[in-house]
Copies of this chain bind each other. A is one copy, B any other.
């Protein structure tokens, strides 16, 4: 059985710092009244999440103007530890040309090929995060 590991709540600044360390997250929304989730490449500017996505028309239509969740995490199975951050906020299509240009750097390039005409902004109206520190584990249960 796992010994005591530590589950810590993370503050907003630490959540934003962690988000900036990874390039793939997951946008969570409703699609035809069903829960939907899609991995996406993203960047953080200020405290907002920006997603530039290939084939974005369908995704954009589903999320534009709606409250969505966005999640990123990093876990280590060998130590059974990691962190996760969830952003909750309104999603909208970025239409401002200056902002689109500013966001067009290499980090925002999606991995998936295709045209990437849409940039989605998620305002981080609520950010929550938690970190699970490595605990002491009984080796019998680690397999």
User: Using a CB–CB distance below 8 Å, which chain A residues touch chain B?
Assistant: 1-7, 22-24, 26, 28-30, 34-39, 67-69, 71, 73, 75, 77, 80-82, 84, 86, 88, 106-107, 109-113, 132, 135, 140-143
Contact = CB atoms under 8 A, between A and B. Distances in A.
A26 B26 contact: yes
Contacts of A113: 2-7, 135
Copies of this chain present: 2
B35 A68 contact: yes
Which applies to chain A's interface (DSSP): helix, strand, loop or mixed? Answer: strand
Given A35-B29, A75-B24, A84-B39, A141 B106 contact: yes
12 contacts: A24-B73, A26-B71, A26-B73, A28-B37, A30-B30, A35-B69, A37-B37, A38-B86, A81-B111, A106-B142, A111-B132, A112-B132
